[in-house]
Chain A
Amino acid sequence: MSLLCTGTSYLYGGNNDTIRTRRWDKRVHQRFEGWERLKPTHIKMQYAGGMGVVSVGAGWDYGKRRQWETDMFVGYLPARYAKTFKLTFTLKQNYIPWSMSFNERWALEPFYCGLYFTTIAGEDFWGKEPGRYPNHYYNFSTKMRPYIFIGQRVNLNIGHKTVRNVTAFYEISSCELYIISKITNKYLTLKDILRFSFGLKVQLFK
């Protein structure tokens, strides 16, 4: 990626911070001031990925190139895929190191990665073992699953006053229980433990 970092001119972000430009990377962080910093900078929708069938959420971007995003999701698992309808809650951290602008409208984020923690509601699941068990009987949580992921995104600038741009993404993820199962077993293939998810992000306001 060194090619992308050869620019020498400087861009000015919303707060007059200077950052070195990359010839292809046109991202600049547009900061809110004061209380407006609490406003989510984007909303997202994700399909699959161990967070239910569909999850919707909002999040904030930050970093000089908006390379960090933190999102919160609520997802649902309909009764068709569980005994009863279930809700999931997810906290997700994304790191998007690079963006390649093709023109005013299109940009590609060729690689991004991150992790998320997802919990599921329902009495079948526990975070800590119920008191009936001897201490350290199972030693894991059935409620909280950490995932790691990598993915790619394409970004379309719309330039509308409220809807600034729309990003489509997909991710390949796996949770910790799948990974430790794979580590000790040749039988399991990567296909057994990796999962695809898809989503949309809508950048708002700035």
Chain B
Amino acid sequence: MRDLTKHLFITLLCTIPFVCGCDMIEYHPYDLDIEGECDMNSRNIARIEASLAGRDEISFIVISDTQRWYDETEDAVEYINSRDDVDFVVHTGDLSDFGLKLEFEKQRDILNTLNVPYVALLGNHDCLATGKDVYNRIFGPENFAFTAGKVRFVCLNTNALEFDYSEAVPDLAYLENELDNLPEGIEKTVVAMHAGPYSEQFNNNIARVFQAYIKRFPDLQFCIYGHGHTTRIDDYFEDGILYYQCTCAHKRGLLHFTINSNEYTYEAIDY
């Protein structure tokens, strides 16, 4: 009887971990041993550019600051999937709260259930510990641009405080390079970032320089950003370029924009 119990226990001991699978073995919460799909932004950009090529009107949704609000993020995805007039989604950063690998993986898994392609920007929380390295692997470079119809979307890392002046944030050289190499047929531009000008994250010494740079893009329409966890609209530089701040997932709000050859529209939606 004792032998039987012994064998039973030892068998149990040896099998439980294997039944539960390897994804439950973790070397460190901040390691770079990433499970699942990587390079999401470039895959999704290919889908956006292919499906909207030549289109005069585009429709997109902005979500932001979904960190540690997985249930709310799922609700946002459910809401977006319930609409059939959305071409793509822009997430303006803060996918993670603590910079943990798990947070990026789970947010990616939720966003991957969107019916439309999405891109995600780097938020300040995403820079914590090895967060930026995880972001770079799962989503891609922190400065990127893509074309939706005839509109160029320029997505920038503006979390200067996280980099302690050791890197160029925002990267003006990147903007110059983008300006020099704009694809043909671009009529309008939208700039997306996580932290807006005059927030504590932004390199405010060059806020006006930044504005001058982005206004060199073709017909800059407006800027979208997050970080503030409220919905607000500001004309920071009193030059008619509006900055639309998207609220956080906790407050269950998002922004919807349409851009056509004559005008753009926006609406702030609670889900």
State the A residues within 8 Å of B (CB): 48-53, 77, 81-83, 86, 88, 102-103, 106, 108, 110, 120, 124-125, 130, 132-134, 138, 140, 142, 145, 152, 154, 168, 170, 175, 177-178, 181, 184-188, 191-198
Contact = CB atoms under 8 A, between A and B. Distances in A.
Contacts of B244: none
A99 B80 CA distance: 55
Given A181-B68, A194-B24, A196-B25, 18 more contacts: A52-B28, A81-B27, A81-B31, A83-B32, A88-B28, A102-B2, A120-B30, A125-B129, A132-B161, A132-B164, A142-B129, A154-B13, A168-B13, A175-B29, A181-B103, A188-B106, A191-B20, A196-B24
A193 B161 CA distance: 30
Nearest to A178: B102
Nearest to B250: A184
A50 B28 CA distance: 4
B70 A83 contact: no
Contacts of A108: 6, 9-10
A102 B5 CA distance: 9
B200 A187 contact: no
Contact of B20 (A51, A132, A133, A196): A196
Q: Which of A48, A125, A196 has the most CB of B within 10 A?
A: A196
B117 interface: no
29 contacts: A48-B27, A51-B28, A52-B27, A52-B28, A77-B27, A81-B28, A81-B32, A83-B130, A83-B133, A86-B28, A102-B2, A110-B9, A124-B129, A132-B164, A142-B30, A142-B98, A154-B10, A170-B16, A181-B70, A184-B68, A184-B71, A187-B70, A187-B73, A187-B74, A192-B106, A193-B102, A195-B24, A196-B17, A197-B25
B129 A77 contact: no
A169 to B, nearest CB: 9
Interface string B156-199: 00000100100000000000000000000000000000000000
B74 A152 contact: no
Interface residues of B, number: 44
Given A82-B32, A196-B20, A142 B99 contact: yes
A145 B98 CA distance: 12
B27 A53 contact: yes
A155 to B, nearest CB: 11
A185 B9 contact: no
B13 A152 contact: yes
Contacts of A168: 13
Interface string B1-45: 011011001100100110011011111111111000000000000
Contacts of A185: 68-71
A50 B27 contact: yes
B246 interface: no
Contacts of B13: 152, 154, 168, 170
A52 B17 CA distance: 18
Interface in B116-142: 125, 128-130, 133
B20 A188 contact: no
B28 A77 contact: yes
Nearest to A103: B2
B100 interface: yes
B86 interface: no
B6 A50 contact: no
Contacts of B102: 178, 181, 192-193
Given A142-B30, A198-B17, A177 B130 contact: no
Contacts of A170: 13, 16-17
Contacts of A53: 27
Contact of B100 (A77, A106, A132, A177): A177
B78 to A, nearest CB: 12
Contacts of B16: 170
Contacts of B70: 181, 185, 187-188
A8 B210 CA distance: 82
B114 interface: no
